[in-house]
Structure 1
C-alpha cells in the first residue's frame, strides 16, 4: 500500500497529506517533537488516567504500540518524553515511513524504538506481547480506518493489554459511521470506554481500559494536567475543561 504522499508548509508548520485535503500529520518546524495537532495531544491523555512518569522509576507506560505512523508525532513524543518506554510502530505503507524520515525527523531505530512495515491488525493478532499503551491512528486517503475499525480488532487489542493497559483510538467524529465505531469499542471493552469531546478538527479520541480500574476526579485530572505541562510541555488543561463541560462524567469523575 503506497498512498500518494504530499508535504506542504504554512506558517511554520509542515503537513503530511495522502493525496487529498485531509491532514494526516503535522510538525511545527521550530518544535519538531511537540504535538502540534489537538487530537495527538489527546491521544496522550492516558498519562492523566494512569500514573506515568513517576519519580521512583516505576513509570507507565513501559511498552507502547503505535499503529499508524503518519508524521511521526506520537512516536517522537513518546520517544523523547517517556524514556522508560519501548516503542513499536506498525505502519502499512513504506512510503509513509520514508516521508517521516525525510521530512518529519523520525528517530533512528534502536533498542527502544523499532518500526514494522505491515498491517497493524495482523501484527496484533500474530504476536503475544502485552502492551501498556496502544495508540491507533491509521487512516487511508479518504479518512477510512478499514480493519482498524472493527470489533474483532478492538477485542484483539484488549487481549494484548497489560494489567494497566489502555487503548487510544483516533476517530473522525464527522464521519457517518462514527457512532457505530464508538459502540464497537464500547462492546469490545465491556463498556470501559471513554470518548473525549470532539476537537475543532472533528477528531474524537476514544479510550478503552483493561486491568486495574481507573478512578479520577476532575480535580485530580486538572492537577495531573498541570504537572504534565510543567514537566513535559504537554498541555492537557483544555482537554480536562472540555471533558468537564461535556456533562459526560457522572459525579465529576472518570471511572473506567
Structure 2
C-alpha cells in the first residue's frame, strides 16, 4: 500500500529494502549465520539510550518496525519487558515475520497504526513508557508529522518520569538545524550520538535531565558483557556522545518545526 518492499540475500546478509528513489536503501539487515549480531551502526547507536537509564526499561514503545531487529534484541536483553511495536504498513510486519524472524508473544506485540495516532491515543489513555524509540522512515525521510513540536510534546507526555526518548535521524540533512531546535524547544538539552563513518545521528533525551559522563561510563561498564553478543561495544559508545549543553551547532534563530511548518520533503537532502 505504501511502497514496494524488496528482500535481498547475499552470502552473508539478508536485507529489507524499500524500492524508492533514495540512496538510503536498506531499512534492516541481518547476518544469516548470526541473527543476533546487529549489522547497522545506527542500531548499535540506539543502545546508547541504555547508558543514561537509571534502571532497566519495563515498558518500551518502538515506532517503525523495519525487520524487527531492535525488538528482537531488546526481548533477549529484557525478557520481562513489555515491547510494543507500531508500524503503519502491514506488509512490513509480514515481511519481518517471514524473513527476519521477528518474534512476538504475550509481551512483544505489533500493531498496524500510524505512530502519531498511536501516541496521541496512548496519551488519552494515560499510558506511560520507560523508553520510546522513534525509528519511522518512509523510504525517503522521516514522515513530516513525526518531526513537529506538537508530536514531540505528545510523545513527552507518555514518558515516565525516568523515561528516555531516542530518535533515529540524520546528521547530513538540511533538516538538522530545524530538528535540533525542535527537540530543544520540547525537551531542553539533549545528547547527540553520532559515528564518523555513518550519516545517522541518535537524538537522545530524557524526562529527568542529562546524566553526567561518570554515570554514563559506569553504566557502560555494567552493560558491556550483556551487549557484546549483539556487536555493541558500550565503552566505545561513550565516545560518541555530545551534549547540547556544551555545543549548540545550529543558528539560534532556527525555525522550530510545527504542524503548520514541517517542510521535510524540501529540506531532507
What TM-score, normalized by structure 1, do the two folds share? Answer: 0.85
- Whole-Å separation in 2 of the counterparts to 1:7 and 1:148: 26
- Whole-Å separation in 2 of the counterparts to 1:90 and 1:202: 25
1:19 alignment partner in structure 2: 19
- Whole-Å separation in 2 of the counterparts to 1:198 and 1:181: 18
1:209 alignment partner in structure 2: 206
Tell me if structure 1 keeps the 8 A contact 2:192–2:243: no
1:63 alignment partner in structure 2: 59
Q: How does 1:119-130 map to 2 (within 5 A)?
A: 119-127=114-122, 128-130=126-128
Tell me if structure 2 keeps the 8 A contact 1:228–1:235: no
Q: Which moved more, 1:173-182 or 1:8-17?
A: 8-17
Tell me if structure 1 keeps the 8 A contact 2:191–2:243: no
Following superposition, the deviation at residue 32 of structure 1 comes to: 1.3
Following superposition, the deviation at residue 226 of structure 1 comes to: 3.0
2:108 alignment partner in structure 1: 113
Of the three residues 34, 38, 49, the one matched with 2:37 is 34
Unaligned runs of 5+ in 1: 53-59, 251-256
Does 1:226 pair with 2:221?
Answer: yes
Higher RCO (CA-CA < 8 Å; seq separation 6+): 2
What TM-score, normalized by structure 2, do the two folds share? Answer: 0.81
Following superposition, the deviation at residue 248 of structure 1 comes to: 6.2
Following superposition, the deviation at residue 158 of structure 1 comes to: 0.3
User: After the TM superposition, which parts of structure 1 deviate over 6 Å for at least 4 consecutive aligned residues?
Assistant: none
Residues 79 and 199 (structure 1), Cα distance of their counterparts in 2 relative to 1, 3 Å cut: farther
Tell me if structure 1 keeps the 8 A contact 2:189–2:243: no
Does 1:43 pair with 2:46?
Answer: yes
- Whole-Å separation in 1 of the counterparts to 2:155 and 2:244: 25
1:87 alignment partner in structure 2: 83
